[in-house]
Every structure is written in C-alpha cells, then in structure tokens.
Structure 1
Amino acid sequence: MPEKNTAAPQPEPKQPAGPQQPAVRTLDARSLRGLAHPLRIRMLAALRHEGPATASRLAEQLGESSGATSYHLRQLAAHGFVEDAPGHGKGRERWWRAVHQGTAFDETLMYDESDPETRGAADAFLHEIATIHTQELNTWLGDSHNWPREWRSSTDMSDFTLRLTPAQATELIHKVHDLVNGYRDLPQAEDTETVRFHTHAFPRRGHA
C-alpha cells in the first residue's frame, strides 16, 4: 500500500507587486472648492514639483505678492493640501510642503445639479489644469534649443484617435497610468532630469 503524501502544501508564489502609486488626495466637494483658485493650484503644483518653500519664495517664482501667497497657503493648509515643513531654513519664515503627490478628481462633481457652486469650482479647476498643461508645453517648445540633442530627441508630442467604448477608454487610461507609475522608483542616473507627462483622453463627435 503506497504511503500517503503528508508534505505540507506549498504556498502559492507571490504575485509581483504593482507599480508604485503616488500618495493622492481625492477631492470631495469641500476640498474642491478650497483648491479651485488659479493661484492655489499653481502654488500646490510648485510645492509638489520643486519641494518645500516659503510664501516669499513662491511669490517670487509665480510673480505674486508674498501677502497673496501667504494667504492662499493658509487656505490650502485649512483644506489639508499643505503643511509645515520643519527643518527647512534658519530664519523666522514659515516653510510649507505638499501633503500629497497628486490630486484625483471625481467627474461626478461636475454634474451635481443641487450644488452649482461645486460645479463651478470643478469647471474652474479643470480649465486651470488645461491652461497649465498648455503653458508647460509652450515653455518647453520655447526653451528646447537650450537642451542637449539627446533630450530633444527624447520628448513626445503625439495624439491618437481610437474607436473605444467607455469601458475600453477607462481600461486604457488605467494601463497608461500604471505604466507611468512603474517608472517612479528607477535608479537615479547622473543625467536624470524631471520629466513631465501629460495625458488627455476625451470623446468627440463624428467618426475617425
């Protein structure tokens, strides 16, 4: 009579971890209204891209008064977007840092018929983001001749037209985001630079 196999079952192999996801703040109606101001959006972006700063440094960078940046920093802090950055600077100036690396926008905020103020804030927020993307691209085009050839040949300004269902479009967006996030923790080489990626996906009437 053959012996029974009494060996302990082998654990299932671990699935490879997905791409590193950035810390993201999901906007609700209140936080959207607190953020939907052009200067606040730009200040928050500056803190995320450039690191901690004071109100006066942000004012110089963005061409605003320090009184304006100080006020809007306090408003951003009240809504949980920025916080104190201890250990920076030696004077009495207050240093600030972004709490999250990104912002997630719930498109349903645009269609709440019972809350026109939130719908207006959503519209202002999205238009300001579109404006920032356009300005960043134009800045690159105006300054590209000052970059080495290998960087000029490593940029992209493409567009694609596809025939998709809403579910397929959502799937593609998630795959693109996962691909980009998969490059966040690569080893830093000497020639590393900050690279901005913009993605836009939207339907339009008519056939391709």
Structure 2
Amino acid sequence: MTNEPQGRVLDAGALKALAHPLRVKIFDLLSERGPQTASSLAALVGETSGSMSYHLRALAAHDLIREVEGRGTARERWWERPKGRINLPGPDESMTPSGRAAAQIVTAEFFRLRHETLMAYLNRSEAEVPEEWRDAGIVMTTFLDLTPSQMAELRAELSSVVDAAVERYRGQTGPDVRRVTLRAELFDVPTPAKTTNVTEES
C-alpha cells in the first residue's frame, strides 16, 4: 500500500471532451503558462479567439478548466487549469469503443506534446539559455531488473519525491524563477515475441 495521491481520474465524458488535439494543447498551455484568455491562447496556437472560446467552454463543461474568479471582464474572460493531479486512464476493454478511442487520442497527444517539449530542450542552442540555467537540467535513462513489487515500491518513492517538490515550490515567484518540467517514467519493457529458427535442407 502507498500514500500516493489519487488525483482525478477522467471519466468518459471528460475524456471525450478532451479528445481533440487542440483541446489537449489548450489544457497543456494552461498547465505550463498559467491563466490565459481566449485571445492569448489564440495567439499561441495560431487560431481565432472565437475558436478558442468554443473549445474553452467545452473543457469547462467537464470541469477540466475553470474561469479565474475576480479576474477579467464580460468581454475578456480568464481561464485556468485547476490544481491537482490528473490521471489519464489507458484504453481498457471495459470501455465503450468510443471511450477507448478517446483515451487513445488524449494519451497519444499528451505524449506527443511531451516529446515535442523534450526535443525543443535538447535542440536549443546554448546562446538561448542564460548561463546559470545551462547545466541545471538532466535527461537520464537507465534500465533496471525488478520484480513487480519492487517496481511498485520504486514508483511510490518517485511519486513521493515529485509530490514533495510540488508542495515545496507551489506558487513560487521571483526574478530567477522559471517554469520547469519534471518527468518521471517507469514501465516494464515489452518482451519481444519469440522467433522460431527454421533450417532449410536442400
């Protein structure tokens, strides 16, 4: 048993509302950059503010995002992503076909955006990065030989470290503060299918 926060598991309705590449992008931008208006999001993604307003309302209808209280006007509304962990369910046989398709779309788009961000980080020139930030990050991959219980224990340890960092630095501001992305990936490597060697005799 672990003390991992459960977070919100998206239900079928929320998954279907999010199952659009542009909506995943909006959700991701609100996570990365904080509150935005339809106009500011439109400028970031190259769409019209009218299109953004439509997608924002669809996301808000399922509590994926919400209007920022006390900010904005009747003509310009500010939107934010609620704090807290979101758990994306993988495609499951218990889902309806449309639910599985929605889960696949959302998961694929989130990981595509994650990869896009990682490659932008790896490919940027040193001149683009302030000197004090150049050696601050790390990209590390390793392989381990674990049992399922050991993997679950390591998952709990990693989650604890991440959750503690989120609480410690939540809402931090200042001239030296930048938004940082933290990745933790832990999964078993698929076993290759066995092949049969066939010897031909002449």
* Global fold match (TM > 0.5): yes
Secondary structure (helix, strand or coil) at the match of 1:95 reads strand
Using the alignment, how far apart are the partners of 1:180 and 1:206 within structure 2?
Answer: 29
Amino acid at match of 1:31: A
Decide which structure has the larger Cα Rg and report it: 1
- Residue 117 of structure 1: which of 86, 90, 98 is its match? 98
Pairs within 5 Å for 1:4-83: 24-83=7-66
**1:165 offset after TM fit, Å?**
2.5
**TM-score normalised according to structure 1 size:** 0.78
**1:179 aligned residue (149, 161, 164):** 161
Q: Deviations over 1:37-92 (max 9, x none)?
A: 21111111211222211111111112222222111101001111112213324572
Distance in 2 (alpha carbons) for counterparts of 1:24 and 1:113: 21
Identify which of 58, 64, 77 aligns with 1:94.
77
In 2, Cα distance between the equivalents of 1:102 and 1:151?
Answer: 27
How many angstroms apart in 1 are the aligned matches of 2:150 and 2:86? 23
Please state how far the C-alpha of 1:200 moved relative to its aligned partner: 2.1
> What is the aligned residue count?
186
Structure-1 separation of matches of 2:70 and 2:29: 19
Measure, in 2, the Cα distance between the counterparts of 1:45 and 1:163: 33
User: In the alignment, what sits opposite 2:109?
Assistant: 128
Task: Give the match for residue 157 of structure 1.
Answer: 139
Given the alignment, which residue of 187, 190, 198 partners 1:205? 190
CA deviation after TM superposition for structure 1 residue 117, in Å: 0.9
After superposition, the C-alpha distances for 1:4-62 in whole angstroms (9 at most, x for unaligned) are: xxxxxxxxxxxxxx89x6x9432122211221221111111211222211111111112
Q: Tell me how large the CA RMSD over aligned residues is.
A: 2.5
3-state SS in 1 of match to 2:8: strand
Unaligned runs of 5+ in 1: 1-17
Corresponding letter in the other structure for 2:108? H
Partner amino acid, structure 2, of 1:77: A
Return structure 1 stretches of 4+ with deviation > 4 angstroms: 186-190
State the distance in 1 between where 2:28 and 2:54 align: 17
Q: Given that residues 10 and 86 in structure 2 are in contact (C-alpha distance below 8 angstroms), is that contact kept between their aligned partners in structure 1?
A: yes
